[in-house]
A and B are shown apart, each in its own frame.
Chain A
Amino acid sequence: MENEKLDRDIRATIKKNWRLFKQSRLGMTGLGIVVFFGFLSILQPMLFLTGIWDEGIYHPVVGYDAEKVDRTIVECPKQYPTKEYQQEGDCPRVDEVNIRYLKAFNIEGEVGEIYESNLQPAPPSSRHILGTDSLGRDIFSQIMEGSQVAFVLGLISAIIGVGISTLLGTAAAFYGGVLDTYLMRQSDLVLMLPTLPFLFIISAFAELQIWHLAVVLGTIGGLGGSVITVKSQALQVKVKPFVDSARITGGSKRRIMFAHILPNVAPLALLFMVFSVTGAIASESVLSFLGLLNIDMSWGIMIYLAQAEGFIFTGLKYWWLILPAGLSVTLLAGGFYLVGRGLDDVFNPRLRRR
C-alpha cells in the first residue's frame, strides 16, 4: 500500500520535472543532440548484424574500400607556360596522371591511355556518406564507433565520479570533524593535481584502455572539487527541520544519511554527472589526439590522423576528414552541457522564469 503511494509520488515528481525541463529550449536541443549520437552508436552494430553493411568494407578500423577513378596518362612539359598548362602546378590536372610517377613505380602505360587508380581519401558518395580516410576506411562508420567510445567512457566515468563525490560529500557534511578535515584536504590535493600532465605520466607506464581511463577520470573528478560542492549542499540539508525530527523519532545515523540527506543531494549529483560527461569526453579526445591512448578508433584519433597526415592545412578540400570528427566531439560535449543547463533550470527554482 505504502509502496504504491511512493511509486505514485515519484512518478508525479518525474512528470513535473519533465514538464519544467521541456520549457527550457536549450535543454531540449541538448537532449536532441545526445539522443542523436546515442542512436548513431546503436545503429552501427545493428547495420553489421543485419548484414546491410559488410564488415570487410565498413569496419571502422580494418575495413577497406577502394574508389576507382580513371585518369589519362600525360607527359608534363619541362617548361611553362605551354598551350595547355599555365603554371608548373597545373600539370597533372585532377583527371590526369604524370607518366613519370608511373615509371617510378614500374607501372606499364603510354601517353594518352587511361590509367585506373585508387582514390584515397575518397570524397562522400552514396556508398560512403562521409567519404573514406587515407586508408580507405569509412568515415561515417568511424564516427559511429567514436560515439560508442564517447558514451561508454563518459557514462562510466560520470557514474563513478558522482558515486564517490556524493558519498564522500554527504559523509563529510554529516559526520564532520576529522573525516571532514581529511576529505577537504584530500580534495585540495586532487584539485591541485594538474590533470593532463598527470594523465601523461600514467600513460607513460600503463597501456591505457578506455575503461582504465574512465576509472581514472571518474576517480579524479569524484575526489576533486565536487566533494566540496556536495558537502556544502548537504550542510544546507542537514540543518532542515525534517532531519531533526528524524533524529528525535530515533532514526539511526546511517538511516538519516541515506534516507533523508542523500535524496536531497541527488539532484545536484545528477547535475554534476551530466557536466562531468562533457569533461570526460574532452579529456579522452585530447589524450587520443596526442596519441597517448591505446584505443583503435575514436574521434580524437581521427583528428590526430588528419593532422599527422597533413590534411589539416589543406583547408576545406578534404573537409570530410577534418569537420565531422571535430564537430562530433563539440556537439556531443555541448549537448551534455545543454542538458545540464536544462536540469539546472529544473532543480534551481531561482533560475526559473516564472
Chain B
Amino acid sequence: MLIYTVKRFFEMIIVFFLFLIISYLLFNAIPGNAFSSLLLNPLLPPETYQRTIELFGLDKPLFERVQLYIINFFKGDFGYSYIYYPRSPIEVIAERLPRTLMLFSIVNVIAFYSGFLVGKVLAWRRGSKSETWITIGSVFSYTVFYPWFALMMLWFFGYKMNWFPLGKFLVPEKWYDSPYSSDEIFYTLILFTTIGSFLLFLVFIFTRNIESLENRRNARIVGLLFLLVLASIYWSNGEASLKRFYAADIAFHMILPTFTVTLVAFAGTALLTRTTMMEVLKDDYILTARAKGLSQKRIRDRHAARTALLPVVTSFIFTIITIIDGSVLTESIFSWPGMGQLILEAVTREDIPLAMASFSFIGILALIAHFIADVSYAFLDPRIRVKADT
C-alpha cells in the first residue's frame, strides 16, 4: 500500500510538471504579447519596445522561458496582476480560493449524502410509480442546462419571492462601520464549519456500530441536537457574538447558490447509486440475507448499500475536478467572488499573469483531488490493494 502511494505520488509530480509546461505553451500560443500595445503608439521609438521585451525576458528562447517560468512558479513569483494592479496574483488567489472551497465543499457533502440516500431508496423500489417519477426528476436535474436553471432559481427565489439576495457576497451597507474585514469573518465561518462538520462526522463514526437501526437513528439525532446547542453557545459568547451579525450576512448569501448547486449535483450520485445498487441486489448474498429472514430495511442498509457505496465514493472523488468547471458558471451567475469568476475575468480581460496563476492553482487542486481519489480507491478496493502490494 505504501509503495503504491509513493509510486503514484512520484507519477503525479511528473504529471504536474507536464501540466505546468503545457499551460505555459498554451498561453504562449496566444498571438501577440503583453506589450504589443506599445507598438501602436507612434510617439514611442521602436527601441523602447525592444528594450521592454528584453527587460521582461520575452526575447529569450522558448526553452529558457519555460525553465524560468517553472523556477518562478516554485518561488511563488507570478509578477503582477493587470486588473488588480498593485497586488500579485498570489494575493488575489489567496483571497478568492477559500470562498470557492467553502461553498463547494458544503455543496458536495450535502449532495453526496442526499444523493446516496435517494439512490438507495430508488433501487429498492424498482418498478414502482414513485421510482419512475423520481428517476425522471433526477435525470432532469442531472441533464438540465445549468446556467438557465440557476437563472430561473435566482429569478424565482431571489426576485419573485424575494426570500434571498440576488447574488453577491455581502450587503455593503451593513459593513460600513464594521470593525472586521470580510475575510476575517469568512475565516471564522470556515473554521466554525470545519470543526462543526468534523464533530458531526465523529458522531456518525461512533454511532456506526450500534446494532439496532432505531437506536442508531435516535443516537444520531441526540448527537445532532447536542452539536446545535454547542454552536448556539459559541455564537452567543465572547468575540463571536460581535461577529455574529456579519457572519449571518455572508451565510445568508450562501444559501441560494448552495441550494441550486446541490439540486443539480445530487442527481449524479443518486443515479449512479441506483445503478450500482441494482447490480448488487442481483447478488446471491442478498438472497441469502432474505432467506435468513432479516428485515427489509436491514438488507437494504447493511447488506446492499454498503457494497454499492464503493464505486459511488470513487466517482464522487473524481467529480471534485468537475466542481471547478461548475464553479465558473455558478460564480458568474450568483456573482460569488471566487476562483471561477476570477479565471473568467482574467481570461476575458486578458490579464495573462493572473490567468496563468489561477489556471495552475486549479491544476494543483485537481491534482490533489486526483491523487486522493487514486489512493482511496486502492485503499477501498481490496483487489487493487493486493495487486499493488505483490
Q: Which residues of A contact B (CB under 8 A)?
A: 25-26, 185, 188-189, 191-198, 200-202, 204-205, 225, 278, 282, 285-286, 289-290, 299, 303, 307, 312-313, 315, 322, 325-326, 329-330, 333-334, 337-338, 341, 344, 348, 350-351, 353
Contact = CB atoms under 8 A, between A and B. Distances in A.
Contacts of A188: 11-12, 15, 370
Interface in B1-35: 11-12, 14-15, 18-19, 22, 26-27, 29-31
B139 A191 contact: no
A353 B126 CA distance: 9
B145 A192 contact: no
A200 B343 contact: yes
A285 to B, nearest CB: 6
B179 to A, nearest CB: 36
Q: Give 10 closest A-B pairs by Cβ, nearest first.
A: A326-B148, A329-B145, A334-B143, A205-B30, A333-B143, A196-B325, A200-B347, A192-B366, A194-B324, A330-B144
Given A188-B370, A286-B146, A333-B143, A315 B19 contact: no
A239 B362 CA distance: 39
Nearest to A303: B148
A308 B132 CA distance: 37
A57 B31 CA distance: 40
Nearest to A192: B366
Interface string B206-230: 0000000000000000000000000
Contacts of A344: 275
Contacts of A192: 15, 19, 321, 363, 366-367, 370
Contacts of A286: 146-147, 329
Among B139, B275, B343, B367, find the residue whose CB has the most chain A CB atoms closer than 10 A.
Answer: B139
Interface stretch (B149-157, B236-244, B302-310): B149-157
B19 A334 contact: no
Contacts of B145: 282, 285, 299, 303, 326, 329-330, 333
A348 B275 CA distance: 11
Interface in B63-101: none
A224 B3 CA distance: 26
Contacts of A313: 155, 159
A146 to B, nearest CB: 11
B344 interface: yes
A201 B27 contact: yes
Given A192-B366, A193-B363, A204 B347 contact: yes
A333 B126 CA distance: 24
Contact of A191 (B146, B325, B362, B370): B370
A204 B30 contact: yes
B279 A351 contact: yes
Among A204, A282, A289, A303, find the residue whose CB has the most chain B CB atoms closer than 10 A.
Answer: A204
Contact of A197 (B11, B140, B149, B328): B328
A282 B149 CA distance: 12
21 contacts: A25-B132, A26-B132, A26-B136, A191-B318, A197-B328, A197-B358, A201-B30, A282-B146, A285-B145, A286-B147, A290-B332, A290-B344, A322-B148, A329-B145, A330-B140, A330-B144, A330-B149, A334-B144, A337-B142, A344-B275, A350-B279
